[in-house]
Structure 1
């Protein structure tokens, strides 16, 4: 049974819709920026900020109360439904959503959990329980788009949205649902996030845009924290053909596993990522790998090992995080959408800004490469140790 994508939607830094995303990917547009005095010691930092695209939610009396991460999700889901020309009435719909931090970074939530004395509980807002609950965000997206069927939330760190696709495929193949709306959103830019990752030396503090948050470059000291949301519509291929909708591509499979190491340790070999990648490729050679490399050296070196052991550095690698940064739980879905666009328009998006220092043996695409693209592999790793890979191909 083939599962296909019939619609997609996105909002990301300097990206308000699919058309702008396609333009940015083709032209290698850098959508992240340097922010001064953002670090613990007033260092500069590199981030990916969404500055426009959710105004209609901010101006609505009821919707404006919702967390930013939810508004981003609503924008992406709405565009995906329109893209698929989908009528939700009288259909068995499933909504599957991924998020790493959810509403945890919302300022009102942060303020409410910091107590200076025992009486401060009176200052906790009545929205606290929903801000603390990731699924409330998914439920709000379901309410906005008008679906009340199966509604699931996945929170496995940065692999969340890719694993939401894995769940949706199982529901579609079982026949429990007819349509799956699948996506992810995260809005993690905050002092809490910055200070936490600064302590673990994961951020490019005091690095300029040419050396910091650069995938596949050993001088990069960390990644660009970014916000984004993406959504796709999945259907069984035969039913998509019946309703005469345009098929964007086929999701062949999604594989996930876990490093299974102590929570405050790091798995440095990348063996479980290699295992997942071997299983998903199953001897096949994709046209390129849409990599999770993000400028954090441990992760990028694991990608290098994967390239060498599985493909002998012959298969092209790229990372769109050089353009949009790393949007945590939304990263998988935005990689999927980028891959679907590359299959439709026959190009490999570039890894911009990198000199490939330390990664010279890899086949890294640094300028847009126009060629026939039929199959793409996506790699994704999350805090907590999950490794998730997806295989996507052109629908015949």
Structure 2
């Protein structure tokens, strides 16, 4: 893949509501963490989360959109507005612009709220707009509505690989000449109490009393996931077209691999076999060897099974390098953003690329001895960063990886 440029970036997250702010907080090792509103319920004594506290949807959309949609849609629209503005595109061709978004959870909190309304008030307690609030495609739908777009519109729901699969699909459409521009990324809200309780019962939650140890990717003392939320959106376009109009090119999508682990509904193959193959597929798509990668941005959930499988895959693929590969996960900064995980990891890579310094794994202090790469901790690691690899692995055996380079 040669001709797919990133010309716009937009983000709504717990560590910033634009890319510049997120960039600064990544490099500063900032951790956005708080006790969940329901902490202590049902035995979840230390329910640490990374939620967005200062988002005002009125700044981004009118009241009709707000009342007729779920927060995951609000975040998607706001991030898309930023990305389109950043791209400098003021005349999107309605038939040559795609909207390809991802979401793992959609409006699940809206469904829970409707069920509560039904239980307490009967049918009058259920909004007539529930389907418009709940369905996963509504983030993409409202983006298309915003710019009156009539090109391909798709929503990918591949668990925590949703963003990667959306961006990869969009890049393929541009590469194939189906569209010239794509608005793409992913969005999820982390405010579903049902989802949080399920994660707690599954043993995924960190039970650390110290909030700043709630998520420690690749740390020998890691104890689990910190849920997060938000949206990340890119504008992709043909690189030749972007150069011709004098656009700022933040980077290029060069390779994408996506495959099924087919091992277990919630656990990866223990040796990371198929995670490694997904990474190899992305490199092959880019026409690169592993030694071309300057830094890797891991899925890195801080769960034992997840970290160990991914570490083994990275160890094998990048064995024999003169200098150990710098690796970082953004989940210690802003939690696990579900379907958005991949695009937030990509933003961590873009932040590192812009500074030639790999951001640190926030929260991580004592790196697991199984790690043979350079898990960056405490402060950014200064090094040339021109080519990055970004991983996103999800429940159901969703394995995806992406290669992004400077222009």
Q: TM-score range by the shorter chain?
A: over 0.9
Task: Decide whether aligned partners of structure 1 residues 9 and 68 sit closer, same or farther in structure 2, where only a CA change above 3 A counts.
Answer: same
Q: Is the 8 A contact 1:77 1:231 kept in 2?
A: yes
Moved more, 121-130 or 380-389: 121-130
Q: Is the 8 A contact 1:74 1:145 kept in 2?
A: no
> Which of 80, 83, 90 is the equivalent residue of 2:93?
90
Moved more, 245-254 or 86-95: 86-95
TM-score scaled by structure 2? 0.90
Q: Is residue 2:299 matched to residue 1:292?
A: yes
Structure 1 residue 262: deviation in Å? Answer: 4.6
Q: Is residue 2:382 matched to residue 1:381?
A: no
Structure 1 residue 233: deviation in Å? Answer: 0.8
Q: Is residue 2:220 matched to residue 1:218?
A: yes
Moved more, 186-195 or 83-92: 83-92
Structure 2 Cα separation of the partners of residues 212 and 51 of structure 1: 19
User: Counterpart of 2:43 in 1: which secondary structure?
Assistant: coil
Structure 1 residue 265: deviation in Å? Answer: 6.1
Write the deviation string for residues 294-315 of structure 1: whole angstroms up to 9, x where unpaired: 2111111112102221112821
Structure 2 Cα separation of the partners of residues 221 and 135 of structure 1: 33
Q: Is the 8 A contact 2:233 2:343 kept in 1?
A: yes
Structure 1 residue 39: deviation in Å? Answer: 4.6
Write the deviation string for residues 17-55 of structure 1: whole angstroms up to 9, x where unpaired: 111011111211112234473452151212111112334
Structure 1 residue 232: deviation in Å? Answer: 0.6
Q: Is the 8 A contact 1:96 1:154 kept in 2?
A: yes
Structure 1 residue 153: deviation in Å? Answer: 0.5
Dislocated runs of 4+, deviation >6 Å:
none
Task: Decide whether aligned partners of structure 1 residues 78 and 59 sit closer, same or farther in structure 2, where only a CA change above 3 A counts.
Answer: closer
Structure 1 residue 128: deviation in Å? Answer: 1.9
Structure 1 residue 210: deviation in Å? Answer: 3.7
Structure 1 residue 266: deviation in Å? Answer: 5.3
User: Counterpart of 1:334 in 2: which secondary structure?
Assistant: helix
Q: Cα RMSD (Å) of the superposition?
A: 2.3
Match of 1:365 in 2: 376
Task: Decide whether aligned partners of structure 1 residues 225 and 61 sit closer, same or farther in structure 2, where only a CA change above 3 A counts.
Answer: same
Aligned residues: 393
Gaps of 5+ in 1: none
Structure 2 Cα separation of the partners of residues 357 and 372 of structure 1: 23
Q: How does 1:148-167 map to 2 (within 5 A)?
A: 148-167=150-169
Match of 1:330 in 2: 340
Q: Is the 8 A contact 1:211 1:219 kept in 2?
A: no
TM-score scaled by structure 1? 0.93
Match of 1:77 in 2: 80
Match of 2:402 in 1: 390
Structure 2 Cα separation of the partners of residues 126 and 54 of structure 1: 24
Match of 1:33 in 2: 34
Task: Decide whether aligned partners of structure 1 residues 116 and 178 sit closer, same or farther in structure 2, where only a CA change above 3 A counts.
Answer: closer
